[in-house]
């Protein structure tokens, strides 16, 4: 690489690491020592665990492995290894207190920046460093934990400590958007072999040929989801898979997480405040079983992961797959609701500049979208740099989510990015949109009989 390109890349990496760190500190400086050490939900780690885990992964993969530097705190490795301790057990560990954890993060970061100074970032150089991969991987890791920490804040009881401006109202044309868009039959390139910071599970690029299908123009809204509830959708066994039915009964599901009924209306708690459920916002905090049941009730189905990606990436004019629905440029505030700029999804039909060629909106940002697909490797997959990032999770236990939420940073979100979770999970910022085969009949409403 030319000297200029390499110094631009170095500057971009330093800025990306700094953005992640500012968010990590913003999410943890706002609580006192007790608030950081407490376990706000058995589903989540105490925030002090995430904090030092972020530093420990940076030490392991960037400072030691890529940088070849000596270990800083090898004694911390077992404490912050996610595989050794389930989240529920983490509060009982002898964790670093908040101040020592922050000092540890600073110490690791100083070493990481020193590694960056001397690193060979040549795309044909050592694979961990090529194109700055390990720095991108570590920035994505920190941002993913920042999203997880935001989910912990949402689960936390007590007065609000986070604040952000509301997203802009829906654009004038949102109400006139067609309910669904047609994606014609044909092949497209799924995954990537060229995106420098794409993780192993997004690779390699491969061709997938799909029959035609219709896809919702926007994610399913709270208003639409309330119709499903009002129609008795939660208790009608026709809409639920056997596993979904069992889970619905066991967990007592009657509405999205954080919703509560108040007479005739629904309220929801969001980051310590209670407010009416906004009708035109994408529904969030539903599990895969709820999304799947809704889709069936609507006479539709969840899109497969390939259907989601084709809609989000294929440019029918050229036959090329793009990085994002709108093209190859990185997201700006006009394209998508990302990066915890707002602490809620924007109304359905927002972000016309972020539209896909089909006219579908909000494929990137706002809510993670559940897909019908299990998390499986692409043909030709190779674990890199370690099996524990993706490979150990492949199989039927996890469902894939696509597109990113308002809570995830642009660095950890793109047309090829794959997220995964258990089908019962709903403390994540998860919503969905629905699909139907192009040759399936259109149903405006389900016949209830």
Q: Could you list the residues that contact ligand AVJ (CB under 6 A)?
A: 141, 144-145, 148, 419-420
SS3 2: coil
Least distance to ligand AVJ from the beta carbon of 43, Å?
A: 12
Q: Which two tokens stand for residue 64?
A: 């030691």
Closest by Cα among 170, 272, 274 to 219: 170
Least distance to ligand AVJ from the beta carbon of 263, Å?
A: 37
DSSP code, position 69: P
Q: How far is CA 301 from CA 130, 166, 295, 447, in A?
A: 41, 31, 5, 16
Q: What is the DSSP string of 280-332?
A: TSBP-S--HHHHHHHHHHTT-BPPPHHHHHHHHHEETTTTEEPSBTTBSSPP-
Q: Which two tokens stand for residue 74?
A: 């090898």
CA-based R_g, the chain, Å: 22
**Residue 123 or residue 377: which is nearer to ligand AVJ going by CB?**
377
Beta bridge partners of 213: 183, 437
**Residue 226 or residue 340: which is nearer to ligand AVJ going by CB?**
340
**Residue 147 or residue 216: which is nearer to ligand AVJ going by CB?**
147
Q: Is 247 annotated as a binding residue?
A: no
Q: Is 90 annotated as a binding residue?
A: yes
Least distance to ligand AVJ from the beta carbon of 375, Å?
A: 9
Structural contact between residues 55 and 112, judged by C-beta atoms closer than 8 angstroms: no
DSSP code, position 218: S
SS3 137: helix
Least distance to ligand AVJ from the beta carbon of 144, Å?
A: 4
Least distance to ligand AVJ from the beta carbon of 412, Å?
A: 9
**Residue 9 or residue 257: which is nearer to ligand AVJ going by CB?**
257
Closest by Cα among 408, 414, 398 to 19: 408
**Residue 183 or residue 413: which is nearer to ligand AVJ going by CB?**
413
Q: What is the DSSP string of 154-173?
A: HH--SS-----PPPPPPPGG
Beta bridge partners of 399: 374, 421
Least distance to ligand AVJ from the beta carbon of 271, Å?
A: 20
Q: 213: buried, middle or exposed (CB in 10 Å: 19+, 13-18, 0-12)? A: buried
Q: Is 261 annotated as a binding residue?
A: no
Residue 331 CA, chain-centre distance (Å), reads: 15
Least distance to ligand AVJ from the beta carbon of 396, Å?
A: 16
Q: Is 231 annotated as a binding residue?
A: no
**Residue 228 or residue 368: which is nearer to ligand AVJ going by CB?**
368
Q: Is 269 annotated as a binding residue?
A: no
**Residue 279 or residue 389: which is nearer to ligand AVJ going by CB?**
389
**Residue 71 or residue 386: which is nearer to ligand AVJ going by CB?**
386
Structural contact between residues 171 and 350, judged by C-beta atoms closer than 8 angstroms: yes
**Residue 289 or residue 398: which is nearer to ligand AVJ going by CB?**
398
* Distance (Å, whole) CA 32 – CA 78: 26
Q: Is 206 annotated as a binding residue?
A: no
Least distance to ligand AVJ from the beta carbon of 208, Å?
A: 22
Closest by Cα among 214, 374, 200, 418 to 307: 214
Least distance to ligand AVJ from the beta carbon of 391, Å?
A: 12
Q: Is 87 annotated as a binding residue?
A: yes
**Residue 39 or residue 148: which is nearer to ligand AVJ going by CB?**
148
* Distance (Å, whole) CA 389 – CA 203: 13
Least distance to ligand AVJ from the beta carbon of 393, Å?
A: 7
Q: Report which residue's Cβ sits closest to ligand AVJ.
A: 144
Beta bridge partners of 221: 282
Q: For residue 2, what are the contacts with CB-CB under 8 A and spacing of at least 6? A: none
**Binding-site positions for gamma-L-glutamyl-L-cysteine:** 87-90, 421, 425
**Binding-site positions for Fe cation:** 53, 141, 145
């Amino acid at each position: 690489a030319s000297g200029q390109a390499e110094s631009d890349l170095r500057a971009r990496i330093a800025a990306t690491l700094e953005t992640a760190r500012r968010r990590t500190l913003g999410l943890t400086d706002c609580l006192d020592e007790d608030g950081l050490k407490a376990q706000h939900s058995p589903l989540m780690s105490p925030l002090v665990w995430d904090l030092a885990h972020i530093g420990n992964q940076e030490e392991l993969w960037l400072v030691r492995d890529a940088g070849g530097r000596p270990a800083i705190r090898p004694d911390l490795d077992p404490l912050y290894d996610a595989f050794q301790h389930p989240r529920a057990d983490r509060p009982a560990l002898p964790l670093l207190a908040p101040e020592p954890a922050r000092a540890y993060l600073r110490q690791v970061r100083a070493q990481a920046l020193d590694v960056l100074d001397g690193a060979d970032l040549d795309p044909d150089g050592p694979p961990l460093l090529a194109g700055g991969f390990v720095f991108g991987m570590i920035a994505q890791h920190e941002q993913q934990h920042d999203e997880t920490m935001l989910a912990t804040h949402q689960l936390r009881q007590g007065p609000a400590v986070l604040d952000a401006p509301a997203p802009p109202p829906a654009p004038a044309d949102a109400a006139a958007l067609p309910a669904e868009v047609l994606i014609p039959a044909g092949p497209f390139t799924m995954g990537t072999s060229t995106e420098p910071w794409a993780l192993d599970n997004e690779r390699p690029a491969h061709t997938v040929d799909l029959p035609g299908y219709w896809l919702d123009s926007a994610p399913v809204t709270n208003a639409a989801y309330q119709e499903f509830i009002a129609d008795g959708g939660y208790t009608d066994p026709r809409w639920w898979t056997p596993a979904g039915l069992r889970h619905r009964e066991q967990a007592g599901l009657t509405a999205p997480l954080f919703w509560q009924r108040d007479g005739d209306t629904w309220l929801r708690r969001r980051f310590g405040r209670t407010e009416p459920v906004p009708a035109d916002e994408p529904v969030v905090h539903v599990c895969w079983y709820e999304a799947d049941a809704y889709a069936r009730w609507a006479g539709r189905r969840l899109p497969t992961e390939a259907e989601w990606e084709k809609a989000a990436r294929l440019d029918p004019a050229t036959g090329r797959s793009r990085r994002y629905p709108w093209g190859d440029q990185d997201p700006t505030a006009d394209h998508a609701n990302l990066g915890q700029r707002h602490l809620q999804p924007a109304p359905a039909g927002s972000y016309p500049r972020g539209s896909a060629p089909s006219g579908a909106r909000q494929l990137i940002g706002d809510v993670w979208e559940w897909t019908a697909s299990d998390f499986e490797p692409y043909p030709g997959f190779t674990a890199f740099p370690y099996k524990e990032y993706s490979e150990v999770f492949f199989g039927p236990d996890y469902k894939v989510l696509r597109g990113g939420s308002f809570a995830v940073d642009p660095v950890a979100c793109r047309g090829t990015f794959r997220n995964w979770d258990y089908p019962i999970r709903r403390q994540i910022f998860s919503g969905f949109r629905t699909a139907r085969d192009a040759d399936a009949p259109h149903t405006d409403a389900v016949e209830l009989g």
